[in-house]
Structure 1
């Protein structure tokens, strides 16, 4: 399975869209939220891909380790971040010799075959009082709900073109996202959403400017009452964020 998975990741990396369009803004905004919670001096980034968030992590942590399963990504990361320790391995095969104060799982858990098992392993890599910062796409995103009503998706959990292109295996809801962390024996300290997203990425990239995009990112965290008259919960937003630590 490991060799097949590495081949799969290498293939995906040759035409990845994470460094394009609205995806970049998504990653950078989630990093700004993570900043409120992460702890120094050491950080492990799991699944850096093109290294969008790595740019911020490399400036924030003096001790940065990256584990990435796709070799093409690793070769590029080594050139751009010479001070970071880059490991080209699947998470399942990774066995660090030290603990980390902060572990970043930015849009990773939707990719892996067994997310709970990955989280259980990740838990053992945390230093005392360490934190895991995680983000995933949200099945309850407004644009997904609209797509179901329009008959474009069978359900909110349907994989769209971008999901399939990037090798996603699932779309999380708030309930399933929380459940995986709890099943792994992790305590959720903070949970919420960001980016009120009414349209798909291609539509946003065609019609929105940077100011509009940033405004809707902020609306996701600080929704006004009229916006949520029927939706009501922040968990209906397009992205989910979690901060976790081991259960005592």
Structure 2
């Protein structure tokens, strides 16, 4: 199976934006928008376009870079004002640099995160910022899963990780190291979503107010939050 076909297969079977994950993506943008400068914005791997909907409401010069033809067709129909680039990251050559680049849950999917970040560094305009977010291996729910014998270790791949097409689960140290190795300067490291139990349990039992509170609570304790993020510049 080619890489493009693999992406299309994941797209057709995706459940990533459902339930509390959709709330997580929306909260991610609420943080990203605090740090990203105005101007030409590139969203990498927009997938179902949950975050794209929020970005498009605020940004006029929007570019979407997606490797799945299935997702690209939907993105073009839903966001006619955006420029959709159907390309693998490694093959993409922008016609101008970007002021802001968003990698929302992208780096856990790629074969070589450092190589991708080095590419992205070359696409940045002076003063540009990157916002990147990934799941955190040290999340409370993963620590509990290890204690219960459901995971061998915190960064072990779960069945859901494989279904989403993940290739790794970062911890705070390995995530930050990817940026440093790519020659990027980390300006902010943070987290969001204090997640003590599984998505299924949250979707079944939690109210929207509880979910919102625990999203914000994770910002206070980033090392054990379910999601971690970095804001970086080219130095």
TM-score range, shorter chain: over 0.9
Q: CA deviation at 1:63?
A: 0.4
Is the 2:131–2:230 Cα contact (8 Å) retained in structure 1? yes
Query: Alignment partner of 2:101: what SS?
Result: strand
> Could you give the per-residue CA deviations for residues 221-240 of structure 1, whole angstroms, max 9, x where no partner exists?
135xxxxxxxxxx3121110
Choose the corresponding residue for 2:226, options 231, 238, 244. Answer: 238
Mapped to 1, the partners of 2:163 and 2:74 lie a distance apart of 21
> Could you give the per-residue CA deviations for residues 92-136 of structure 1, whole angstroms, max 9, x where no partner exists?
111101011100000000000011000000001111000000000
> Could you give the per-residue CA deviations for residues 144-185 of structure 1, whole angstroms, max 9, x where no partner exists?
000000100000011112210011000000000000000000
1:15-94 aligned at under 5 Å gives the runs 15-94=13-92
- TM-score, normalised with respect to structure 2: 0.98
Count of residues in correspondence between the two structures: 235
Alignment root-mean-square deviation, CA: 0.9
Q: CA deviation at 1:19?
A: 2.0
> Could you give the per-residue CA deviations for residues 54-112 of structure 1, whole angstroms, max 9, x where no partner exists?
01111111100000011110000000000100011110111101011100000000000
> Could you give the per-residue CA deviations for residues 5-55 of structure 1, whole angstroms, max 9, x where no partner exists?
111001000011122101100100010000100111210000000000001
Mapped to 1, the partners of 2:138 and 2:41 lie a distance apart of 30
**Structure 2 stretches of 5 or more lacking a match?**
none
Query: Alignment partner of 1:151: what SS?
Result: coil
**Structure 1 stretches of 5 or more lacking a match?**
224-233
Tell me what 1:129 maps to.
127
Mapped to 2, the partners of 1:157 and 1:190 lie a distance apart of 23
The structure 1 segments of at least 4 consecutive aligned residues displaced by more than 4 Å after TM superposition are none
